[in-house]
Amino acid sequence: MTETWLIASNNPGKSRDLALCLGYYGITATQYLTTKPRLDFPVETTTSYVDNAVMKAKFAAQNLGVPVIADDSGLEIPALPDEFGVTTARDLGVKVSGYDRNEEIIAAITPLPLADRVATMRATLAAAWPDGRTVVVQGTLTGYLIPHQIGAYSGGFDRLFWLPAYGRTLAELPDVWRLPLTHRGRAAQQLSQQL
């Protein structure tokens, strides 16, 4: 197994969360920008998590000359099938703050009855080497979206994502509980087994 992986993302929040999830399963990783110059990743034009993650990983591995891990993730709401999903960040705007993105989601789910606020967070991780080899895994977490933001242990969608078994949002759970539950944590576990 590679000793230290670089995370192929220009998003510091996503990179930090992914590094924590990978670290939970013994994989040391850090955002590539800590040691390498900034890359302009190709524009995501596909509606496939796998294609997006592999494209980012291969691009970074070839341009940086080292093994990398890339993530493509999204929020899926079955009651709103034409919104969010693999294009969540693109649809909501990656330059908008996590708080404001959450407010847009709250506006979308508010008319829905509680039973229709079921949502799944999905993460696809692709590990790639400069020689073109790749390993791809996916992780999911299903819960309910609530119409207000709660929790300070993490940010983003975690503040809306209610887990009935815990009676809390993901953001109300400390990392020791949260990381193995999250979509990225579940994908990281699978990746650790395959590397």
Q: How many CB atoms lie within 10 A of CB 133?
A: 11
* Secondary structure (3-state) at 142: strand
- φ, ψ of residue 57 to 5 degrees: the values are -65, -45
**Residue 91 bears catalytic tag:** no
Structure tokens at 90: 């693109």
Read off the tokens for 35: 């040691």
Q: CB 28: neighbour CB atoms within 10 A?
A: 12
Query: Any alpha helices (H) in the chain, and if so which ranges?
Result: 12-24, 49-64, 88-92, 98-109, 175-181, 183-194
User: Alpha helices of 25-97 — where are they, by DSSP H?
Assistant: 49-64, 88-92
Burial class (CB in 10 A: 0-12, 13-18, 19+), 135: middle
Please identify which of the residues 17, 71, 72, 158 carries the catalytic annotation.
72
Determine the straight-line distance between the first and last CA of the chain, rounded to whole angstroms: 6
Catalytic residues: 72
